[in-house]
């Protein structure tokens, strides 16, 4: 891993799971990390700003506390489908979008945004027209109103990740024109506190079946390395992409070798 001394990163969700692993990896490489989370991180971050990503005013207050320019925003925070649909959509999609766009004036030239979406959003092509309707809204508040009028019953988590993945694909060229990049990482199941909720909402058979097929679930470190890579100069020509980090299950589904998991 290259030396990141002097580089500055903001990591959301740094208090647990994948975000914690991302923060640890950056700090070990010498970077300065600012954490945005509703809980306190245990990684030795330079600064922690408490924020509730379900509340746009709280996000604005957190943004005001940021100082100077950053090399990347790593948007990792998220909640599972055991939480109510509007809150899932607010945290996983609306907050992600609001922060990504707020960083257009806070990134160094060549800087980037990485979004942790999910393989659970794999069905976005079937809902692209609806997702594009959402993407036509401009603000967090307008997006929340749109979702209230178009609730994705029983499926808010998947929909939130479909929207996040398509947002990243859709924004690559706009980021490029401004001298930045945006990419997504799509983890399969990862051993973090959220996984128990996924067993509840996506079915034990689905989640446990994937671990049986692959021999294990992913670890936060499996995902963190790719998040950090996408934010690095090594990935300078990767833009508007969604990179699966799932042990191979996504490719097997795409090729028709295994059935589409029933998330």
Ligand X SMILES: NC(=O)c1ccc[n+]([C@@H]2O[C@H](COP(=O)([O-])OP(=O)(O)OC[C@H]3O[C@@H](n4cnc5c(N)ncnc54)[C@H](O)[C@@H]3O)[C@@H](O)[C@H]2O)c1
Check binding of 116 to ligand X (CB under 6 A). Answer: yes
The C-alpha R_g of the chain, in whole angstroms, comes to 17
Q: Give the sheet arrangement for strand 242-245, strand by strand.
A: 47-50, 32-37, 8-12, 70-75, 107-116, 181-187, 242-245
Binding span for ligand X by CB under 6 A among 62-70, 140-148, 188-196, 235-243: 188-196
Q: To which H or E segment does residue 209 belong?
A: helix 204-214
162 closest CA partner among 176, 147, 173:
147
Which residue out of 9, 70, 140, 157 is catalytically annotated? 157
Check binding of 143 to ligand X (CB under 6 A). Answer: no
Instruction: Using CB under 6 A, pick the residue from 189, 244, 250, 261 that binds ligand X.
Output: 189
Clarify whether 167 is annotated catalytic.
no
Binding span for ligand X by CB under 6 A among 99-107, 123-131, 174-182, 183-191: 183-191
Please report, as residue ranges, which positions from 13 to 72 form the binding site for ligand X (by CB under 6 A): 13, 15-19, 37-39, 51-54
Give the span between the Cα atoms of 47 and 59, in whole angstroms. 16
Binding span for ligand X by CB under 6 A among 8-16, 141-149, 166-174, 248-256: 8-16
Residues that bind ligand X (CB under 6 A): 13, 15-19, 37-39, 51-54, 76-79, 91-92, 116, 118, 187, 189-190, 192-195, 198
Positions marked active-site: 157
């Amino acid at each position: 891993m290259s030396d990141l001394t002097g580089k500055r990163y903001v990591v959301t969700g740094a208090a647990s799971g994948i975000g914690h692993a991302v923060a640890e990896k950056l700090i070990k490489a010498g970077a300065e990390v600012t954490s945005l989370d509703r809980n306190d991180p245990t990684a030795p971050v330079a600064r922690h700003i408490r924020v509730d990503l379900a509340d746009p005013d709280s996000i604005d207050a957190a943004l005001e506390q940021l100082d100077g320019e950053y090399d990347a925003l790593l948007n990792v925070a998220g909640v599972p489908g055991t939480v109510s649909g509007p809150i899932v959509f607010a945290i996983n999609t609306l907050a992600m979008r609001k922060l990504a766009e707020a960083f257009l004036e806070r990134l160094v030239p060549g800087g980037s945004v990485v979004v942790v979406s999910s393989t659970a959003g794999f069905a976005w092509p079937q809902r692209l027209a609806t997702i594009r309707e959402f993407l036509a809204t401009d603000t967090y508040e307008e997006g929340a109103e749109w979702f209230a009028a178009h609730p994705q019953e029983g499926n808010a988590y998947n929909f939130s990740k479909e929207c996040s993945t398509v947002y990243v694909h859709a924004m690559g060229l706009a980021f490029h024109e401004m001298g930045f990049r945006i990419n997504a990482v799509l983890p399969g199941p990862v051993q973090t506190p959220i996984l128990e909720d996924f067993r509840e909402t996506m079915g034990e058979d689905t989640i446990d079946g994937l671990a049986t097929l692959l021999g294990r679930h992913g670890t936060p470190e499996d995902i963190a390395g790719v998040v950090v890579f996408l934010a690095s100069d090594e990935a300078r020509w990767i833009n508007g992409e969604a990179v699966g980090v799932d042990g191979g299950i996504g490719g097997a589904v795409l090729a028709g070798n295994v059935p589409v998991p029933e998330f």
